[in-house]
Structure 1
Amino acid sequence: MTQHVRDIMTADPVTVEPQTSVAQVARIMRDEDIGAVLVTEGDTLRGLVTDRDLVIRSICEGGDPEQTTVAGACSEDLFTLEPDEELDHAVQLMREHAVRRVPVVDHGHPVGIVSLGDLAMERDPESALGDISVARPNT
């Protein structure tokens, strides 16, 4: 049976506007127990920012996290998936682009995120990555 992105994606992704501070995004990630948020202007996808992006592209630069906006830390050169695309295509794109998370859009509007962990839990739940993906955070 063919599986689709919508079958495993995390629906209703957390979104922030580009002018949101890096500190606020970090707090959202902590409170929601997530490692990525989508950056949107209105209902249009502008980028994706991960916890690693916050550190590498913002904190390491020495700016004030309360004053620095997420616009400079997010990845803007994105590829996306549609909810009805086959999972095999998602795997192929993630391999090709060496990414761990991909925004899912429906008619240009963000509706979810599919992650490497989502794929691992679906395809090989007994794998180390599958186990890690379902484990409780160690915070």
Structure 2
Amino acid sequence: MKTSRPWRRTPALPRRTPGSRWAAAAGVLLLTATGLAGATAPAHAGSNGQHLVVHDPRHITASIRINGTIHNGQYTHTCVNIPGDPAWIDQNWWKGTIKVDTYAGWNCSGTYYTTFSFAVPTTQSSDWHHIYLNYP
């Protein structure tokens, strides 16, 4: 015997009108356009900042703190371990003058060595800018 279960019925969906597809498409396009207008596009191909390649000829630096401006104009800092030479750092797109603090320990700890200053071009043909930790 089959029992009626009205609470399990699928609710009726509204009928589509011929113009409803176009209205939905226009709404999606509008939301996408307004979302993109407020967002800052990331840099690519060396067009608005560079990733860094850090060279440590003496092989004494375990980590660095990079302080400077990134592709969206924000001033920021980040700590990066550099286990080898060279160390390819792709966390941000750096540009302008950056300061690099060098440390003997991992995670920017241990002995602080010195601070280097580098000029990173906003645009260049490559995504990578080489910096050299040339200790005295």
Give the TM-score normalised by the residue count of structure 2. 0.23
Bigger helix fraction:
1
Bigger strand fraction:
2
Give the TM-score normalised by the residue count of structure 1. 0.23
Structure showing greater Rg: 2
